[in-house]
């Protein structure tokens, strides 16, 4: 298929390009490079056959997006472009609503102008909010607790309403759990700007000596070792879920929602120990008070993706930490080296 990828130069976007191109899809990237890098695209090109067309553009620029979409004539869009930091979203709500909501509306206008009926959307398990029960299945109530989560939930609603109004449309809403890891080549990976908020990129910088120690945000949660439990998913598995969703979107119409996780949870201490084993020494850590807004535990029920998309995660925590270490040790400053 001809696939337009917004935000293709970012972390999940770049890994998805490799999988799409590996399956013979033709791709065209639109990225503002606000949180992605042209270097990531250059490296995707070296890992892939086929040519990678890329345009520097802001998805809110509807005229430009429409021109690009009309020229490329995509059969489907994978929509990653958006802002994604929970803490920042609380301080800059207008910016988050503008990029994530105005951007999605702008994309739909460009898709309509180009006659494209399919979109795979990068959503998040954060739309669920506080667990009413675990593991979360797709029917769990949605009650996001951050502006970021609200923008994902609202964009899901917009896309669902769009599909309801167009009999030919197919919308796949993918709710990611905690994406981690890197391509096994070590050529592409996660390249956070500034101090990483998330556990694994932070730990990766502890391993290279850029940070003195991991701060464990609380060890008094009601979990076996007291630290928070998450459903970490290897970014390569996550990338493959998009290819599976694209196949599904070619065969069905309407809007569908899928959890994309492994169905298994790991604690902060388990991730720290696994990463220490990959690096070959004990990484330093200190227990700190809980981080405001964190929940004790979250895990996916990923059976719907297994049955409908015929996709399931195949890589384990060992693969996740090994690939992060391969990437981080070869690129301690990410793409800025």
Which residue lies nearest ligand UFG, judged by its C-beta? 228
3-state secondary structure of 159: helix
Kindly state the smallest distance separating residue 193's Cβ from ligand UFG, in Å. 14
Residue placing its CB nearer to ligand UFG in the complex, 27 or 216? 216
C-alpha closest to that of 55 among 39, 77, 78, 33: 33
First to last CA, the chain: 34
β-pair partners for 56: 31
97 catalytic per annotation: no
Dist. CA 112–CA 60, nearest whole Å: 15
By beta-carbon proximity to ligand UFG, the closer residue of 3 and 199 is 199
Instruction: Give the separation between CA 229 and CA 221, rounded to whole angstroms.
Output: 9
Instruction: Please state the closest distance from residue 129 (CB atom) to ligand UFG, in A.
Output: 10
With CA atoms as reference, report the closest residue to 88 among 36, 136, 35, 37.
35
Please identify, using beta-carbon distances, which residue of 66 and 323 lies nearer to ligand UFG.
323
Q: Please say which residue, 115 or 224, places its beta carbon nearer to ligand UFG.
A: 224
Rounded Cα distance, 67 and 80, in Å: 19
Binding residues for ligand UFG, per CB under 6 A? 84, 86, 124-126, 177-178, 197-199, 202, 214-217, 228, 230, 268, 291, 294
Which of the residues 11, 136, 148, 221 is marked catalytic? Answer: 148
| Nearer Cβ to ligand UFG (21/83) | 83
- Determine the Cα angle at 184 with ends 136 and 215, to 5°: 55
Minimum Å gap between C-beta 218 and ligand UFG is: 6
- Minimum gap (Å) between residue 45 Cβ and ligand UFG: 28
- Of 84, 55, 23, the closest CA to residue 246 belongs to 23
| C-beta separation of 256 from 244 below 8 A | no
Q: How far is CA 143 from CA 86, 125, 213, 224, 300, in A?
A: 15, 11, 34, 27, 16
User: What residues are labeled active site?
Assistant: 148
């Amino acid at each position: 298929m001809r696939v337009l990828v917004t935000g293709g130069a970012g972390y999940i976007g770049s890994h998805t390009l490799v999988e799409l191109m590996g399956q013979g899809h033709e791709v065209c990237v639109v990225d503002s490079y606000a949180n992605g890098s042209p270097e990531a695209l250059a490296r995707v090109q070296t890992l892939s056959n086929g040519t990678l067309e890329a345009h520097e553009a802001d998805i809110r620029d509807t005229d430009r997006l429409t021109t690009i979409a009309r020229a490329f004539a995509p059969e489907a869009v994978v929509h990653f472009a958006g802002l994604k930091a929970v803490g920042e979203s609380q301080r800059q709500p207008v910016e988050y609503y503008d990029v994530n909501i105005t951007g999605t509306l702008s994309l739909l206008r460009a898709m309509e102008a180009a006659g494209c009926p399919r979109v795979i959307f990068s959503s998040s398990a954060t739309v669920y909010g506080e667990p009413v029960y675990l593991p979360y299945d797709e029917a769990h109530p949605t009650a996001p607790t951050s502006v970021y989560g609200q923008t994902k939930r609202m964009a899901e609603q917009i896309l669902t309403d769009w599909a309801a109004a167009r009999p030919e449309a197919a919308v796949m809403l993918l709710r990611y759990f905690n994406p981690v890891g890197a391509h096994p080549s070590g050529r592409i990976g996660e390249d956070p700007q500034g101090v990483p908020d998330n556990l694994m990129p932070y730990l990766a910088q502890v391993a290279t000596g850029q940070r003195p120690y991991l701060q464990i945000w609380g060890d008094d949660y009601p979990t076996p070792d007291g630290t928070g439990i998450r459903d970490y998913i290897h970014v390569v598995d996550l990338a493959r879920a998009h290819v599976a969703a694209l196949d599904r979107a070619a065969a069905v119409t309407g809007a569908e929602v899928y959890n994309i996780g492994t169905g298994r949870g790991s604690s902060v201490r388990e991730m720290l120990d696994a990463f220490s084993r990959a690096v070959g020494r004990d990484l330093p850590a200190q227990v700190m008070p809980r981080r405001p807004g964190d929940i004790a535990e979250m895990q996916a029920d990923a059976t719907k993706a297994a049955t409908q998309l015929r996709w399931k995660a195949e890589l384990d925590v060992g693969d996740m930490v090994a690939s992060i270490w391969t990437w981080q040790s070869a690129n301690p400053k990410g793409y800025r080296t």
